[in-house]
Amino acid sequence: MEYKQLQVFLKVCETKSLTKAAERLFISQQAVSRIIANLENELNARLFIRTPQGVELTDCGGELEQQAFEFLHHHDSIVTRLGNLNQGGRKEYKIGFFMGMLQMLPAHFLPDLMDAHPKLQFRLQSYPDNERSRSFQNYGCDLVMTTSPLTSGNSVQIFHYESPIGVILQRSHPLAQKRELTMADLKGQRLITLNSDNRSQSRLMNRLREWDLDAHSVVGDTEWGLTWDLLRRGYISFYAGKLSVLPDDMLGLPLADLNLDWEFFVYKRQSKKLSALEKEILVKIRENISD
């Protein structure tokens, strides 16, 4: 197996299409098909199943996807780090985080961190909050901030925070007169939830089904402008963040009988000791993640 073969294979995994993979890689579809066929012959295993919608991974393909991703990240990391050292450059430090995370922390959190450590070359990896991205996009990161436990064997958890899931609504909403709400209060309401794919969200959706409730709208964790507009039209959104960052016309209320928490994790590389930089980051997170 060659580096280029694995690059093409992973691009097909990502796009679920030979044609789209070829477009992203700026090569012909015939070249992609030939590379995949050669790889399957070399491994004596079928990697994809062709379907009318594109391609799907076989069990062997899924195993190769994980191994290939780790191999390429490890390879690229070695090349980059040695290149920096050889050229007398700054030491590299890579941080992975889910989209929407920065709204949980102070403005300019990462830029301020960079300014405080000018001798480090920071690399940032933002990823969609889903299982596939958590498994693969974070590989090779020195520090990862995530909403679900990482299954990768190269990381160790160094921080875990839980925040009760409640709701936010406009202060003029009829239910805003209550000091707390129950799940029964949400019957008939237009509810907003996130499109995140993590443990907390799965538990929340299960609880909604138990109460025969339905999420009227699903939005991304970076689309707060849209969320505020919907709340001002009478919607109610599930929420577990800081109340101090809400607009003045918004109110946060607890859900007395939901009993669910939103989770936040920080991981570091398993092979390294907790550095002074990582201790500094943890202190800042603890100070700012909640009101």
**Interval 124-143 mean pLDDT:** 71
Token look-up 């009993």 returns 259
> Which residues on neighbouring strands pair with residue 268, listed in sequence order?
143, 156
Is the pLDDT confidence value at 66 over 90?
no
Label residue 195 by pLDDT band (50, 70, 90). confident
Is the pLDDT confidence value at 152 over 90?
no
Report the alpha-carbon distance of residue 121 to residue 114 in Å, rounded.
8
Residues counted in the chain = 291
Domains 90-162+263-288 and 166-259 share a fold: yes
Q: What single DSSP character describes residue 275?
A: P
Q: Are 140 and 94 in contact (CB under 8 A)?
A: yes
**Interval 138-147 mean pLDDT:** 81
Report the alpha-carbon distance of residue 214 to residue 232 in Å, rounded.
20
Share the mean pLDDT of the chain.
85
Q: Are 96 and 143 in contact (CB under 8 A)?
A: yes
If one looks up domain 90-162+263-288 in CATH, what number appears?
A: 3.40.190.10
DSSP E strands in the chain: the ranges are 48-51, 54-57, 91-98, 120-127, 143-146, 155-164, 166-170, 191-194, 215-219, 236-239, 250-253, 261-269
Q: What is the pTM for the complete model shown?
A: 0.66
Sequence ranges of the domains in the chain: 1-87, 90-162+263-288, 166-259
Report which of 19, 8, 16 is spatially closest to residue 57, judged by C-alpha positions.
16
Q: What single DSSP character describes residue 206?
A: H
**Interval 206-217 mean pLDDT:** 91
What percent of the chain has pLDDT above 90? 38
Token digits of residue 216: 């009227």
Token look-up 């102070």 returns 106
Fold of 166-259: D-Maltodextrin-Binding Protein; domain 2 (3.40.190)
Fold of 1-87: Arc Repressor Mutant, subunit A (1.10.10)
Label residue 167 by pLDDT band (50, 70, 90). very high
Label residue 178 by pLDDT band (50, 70, 90). very high
Task: Name the residue with higher pLDDT: 131 or 270.
Answer: 270
Token look-up 């030979």 returns 18
Report the alpha-carbon distance of residue 206 to residue 71 in Å, rounded.
36
Q: Are 262 and 165 in contact (CB under 8 A)?
A: yes
Least-confidence region, from 61-70, 83-92, 171-180, 265-274: 83-92
93 Cα distance to chain centroid = 19
Within 8 A by CB and 6+ apart from 101, the residues are: 145
**Interval 259-269 mean pLDDT:** 90
